[in-house]
């Protein structure tokens, strides 16, 4: 009954519409690129009716022939998925070979079959950032999903680390630590970045934090880093005029790493400034046995300005006897032996360096000095000077990251800005 009523109303409306059309005739005009199409309103209505019927017929046909099942057929979907996964595998293979454009090509094919899923987007984002033209819409899409957020942050972090933008990387690591507070790599990186930025106090806290998480760094690594940070804090205290605090920090540095020569040298200098030369000597003697270097050598030689050259020779002979494996010991002994005219000791010391294949420029230069001072033999001296020119370089402070050579130790390389990379190179 309701349906009949609807049909009757529909028929009345159609009849009224047709009547209205005959009393209100009109024209439709379409102009396009110099073309002009003109037809009456009645034709327009017929076209709309025809379009509606065709649409209705198509939907009916789809239903009748069950065409939609073609698109939802599980077998067909599984085959499509397999093809998509294959494309993704090919994309990762191209990525591994650093063929990033090829990787994007296969990645987009995979995307058309698998849709915008995380795996596809990660491939596309990785390859796009390798091409590096700045824009990466895939990263933005991934960022919107909380599950992919850390992955996106890690990509950004790797980029900052590659660019050596420590200032950008440090806050990102701290943000990542909020959601992954026990991550060993992040804890270690947090410390290293703060240290590279020279924020010693914050770096010390980060180091303590990293220590709490077992495996973030080895105990010896932790001890060495503690020594370097305390050394850096000691330099700050010294610059601010707090010598006692500085000395305490240097002692703590040496307690953490007794082989850390820069802390020993700084502590010895502080004692010398206070005219406590005995304490300075104790520290210098202890470090000389383990990690001698040129600056320590100079400080040891000039420790007691009032003593005679013979006294200096005897004092240094004692110190160097306990560190005979190092060429620095023999060079230092030879130099003070020449000053005090202990010729056989000087020669023995230099020959022992040559015999152990550690001879460097200084070895031959000192031999040349010995020839001049002992025998006034200019010819023999010139021969050794010539030999020194081709000899290997003396041991020196060098950055193991960028290989720049420095006259003194520095906790951070001023050239590549790496932390704890400058070492006494033998
Ligand atoms: Zn460097």
- Tell me the DSSP string of 91-127: HHHHHHTT-HHHHHHHHHHHHHHH-S-HHHHHHHHHH
- Domains: count for the chain: 1
Is the Cβ–Cβ distance between 257 and 226 less than 8 Å? yes
Whole-number Å distance, alpha carbon 293 to ligand 1 midpoint, is 20
> Computed over its alpha carbons, how large is the radius of gyration of the chain?
41
Whole-number Å distance, alpha carbon 208 to ligand 1 midpoint, is 26
- Asked whether residue 84 is domain-assigned, the answer is yes
What local confidence, expressed as pLDDT, does residue 1 receive? 65
- Asked whether residue 92 is domain-assigned, the answer is yes
Taking the C-alpha atoms of residue 147 and residue 153, their distance in angstroms, rounded to an integer, is: 11
Whole-number Å distance, alpha carbon 370 to ligand 1 midpoint, is 37
Range of the domain at 109: 74-179
Residues with CB under 5 A from ligand 1 (ion): 399, 401-402, 413, 415-416
Whole-number Å distance, alpha carbon 195 to ligand 1 midpoint, is 14
Whole-number Å distance, alpha carbon 203 to ligand 1 midpoint, is 20
Is the Cβ–Cβ distance between 213 and 189 less than 8 Å? no
Whole-number Å distance, alpha carbon 40 to ligand 1 midpoint, is 84
Whole-number Å distance, alpha carbon 404 to ligand 1 midpoint, is 6
- Asked whether residue 82 is domain-assigned, the answer is yes
What local confidence, expressed as pLDDT, does residue 366 receive? 97
- Which CATH number characterizes residue 124's domain? 1.25.40.10
Taking the C-alpha atoms of residue 203 and residue 352, their distance in angstroms, rounded to an integer, is: 44
- Asked whether residue 53 is domain-assigned, the answer is no
Whole-number Å distance, alpha carbon 416 to ligand 1 midpoint, is 4
Whole-number Å distance, alpha carbon 417 to ligand 1 midpoint, is 6
**Nearest partner of 373 among 336, 326, 420, 348, judged by Cα:** 336
Is the Cβ–Cβ distance between 349 and 337 less than 8 Å? yes
Rounded (5°) CA angle 15-20-26: 130
- Asked whether residue 186 is domain-assigned, the answer is no
**Nearest partner of 321 among 285, 347, 293, judged by Cα:** 285
Whole-number Å distance, alpha carbon 419 to ligand 1 midpoint, is 8
For 206, the 3-state DSSP assignment is helix
pTM of the model: 0.77
Whole-number Å distance, alpha carbon 413 to ligand 1 midpoint, is 5
- Asked whether residue 198 is domain-assigned, the answer is no
- Asked whether residue 403 is domain-assigned, the answer is no
In whole angstroms, how far apart are CA 40 and each of 15, 43, 64, 146? Answer: 18, 5, 36, 58
- Asked whether residue 383 is domain-assigned, the answer is no
What local confidence, expressed as pLDDT, does residue 414 receive? 96
Ranges of the chain with pLDDT below 50: none
What local confidence, expressed as pLDDT, does residue 59 receive? 84
Whole-number Å distance, alpha carbon 420 to ligand 1 midpoint, is 9
Whole-number Å distance, alpha carbon 396 to ligand 1 midpoint, is 14
Whole-number Å distance, alpha carbon 163 to ligand 1 midpoint, is 14
For 205-259, the pLDDT digits (tens) are: 999 999 998 889 999 999 999 999 999 999 999 999 999 999 999 999 999 999 9
Taking the C-alpha atoms of residue 346 and residue 334, their distance in angstroms, rounded to an integer, is: 4
């Amino acid at each position: 009954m309701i349906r009949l009523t609807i049909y009757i109303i529909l028929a009345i409306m159609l009849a009224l519409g047709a009547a209205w059309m005959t009393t209100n005739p009109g024209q439709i005009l379409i102009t396009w690129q110099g073309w002009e199409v003109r037809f009456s309103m009645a034709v327009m209505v017929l076209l709309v009716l025809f379009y509606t019927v065709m649409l209705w017929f198509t939907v009916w046909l789809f239903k009748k022939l069950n065409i939609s099942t073609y698109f939802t057929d599980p077998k067909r979907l599984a085959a499509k998925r397999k093809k998509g996964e294959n494309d993704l595998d090919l994309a990762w293979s191209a990525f591994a070979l650093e063929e990033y454009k090829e990787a994007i090509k296969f990645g987009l094919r995979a995307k058309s079959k698998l849709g915008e899923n995380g795996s596809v987007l990660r491939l596309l984002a990785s390859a796009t950032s390798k091409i590096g033209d700045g824009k990466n819409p895939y990263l933005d899409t991934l960022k919107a999903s909380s599950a992919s957020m850390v992955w996106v942050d890690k990509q950004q972090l790797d980029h900052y680390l590659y660019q050596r933008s420590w200032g950008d990387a440090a806050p990102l690591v701290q943000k990542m630590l909020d959601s992954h507070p026990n991550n060993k790599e992040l804890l270690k990186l947090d410390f290293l970045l703060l240290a590279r930025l020279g924020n010693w106090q914050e770096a010390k806290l980060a180091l303590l934090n990293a220590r709490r998480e077992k495996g973030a760094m080895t105990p010896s690594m932790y001890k060495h880093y503690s020594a370097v940070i305390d050394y850096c804090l000691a330099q700050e205290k010294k610059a601010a005029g707090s010598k006692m605090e500085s000395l305490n920090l240097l002692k703590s540095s040496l307690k953490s790493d007794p082989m850390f020569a820069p802390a020993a040298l700084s502590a010895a200098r502080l004692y010398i400034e206070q005219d406590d030369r005995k304490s300075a000597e104790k520290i210098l003697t202890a470090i000389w046995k383990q990690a001698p270097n040129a600056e320590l050598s100079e400080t040891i030689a000039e420790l007691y300005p009032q003593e005679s050259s013979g006294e200096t020779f005897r004092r240094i002979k004692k110190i160097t006897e306990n560190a005979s494996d190092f060429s620095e010991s023999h060079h230092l002994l030879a130099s003070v032996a020449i000053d005090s005219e202990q010729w056989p000791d000087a020669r023995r010391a230099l020959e022992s360096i040559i015999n152990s294949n550690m001879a460097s420029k200084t070895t031959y230069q000192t031999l040349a000095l010995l020839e001049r001072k002992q025998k006034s033999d200019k010819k023999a001296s010139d021969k050794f000077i010539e030999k020194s020119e081709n000899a290997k370089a003396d041991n020196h402070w060098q950055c193991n990251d960028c290989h720049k050579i420095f006259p003194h130790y520095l906790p951070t390389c001023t050239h590549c800005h790496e932390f704890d990379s400058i070492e006494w190179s033998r």
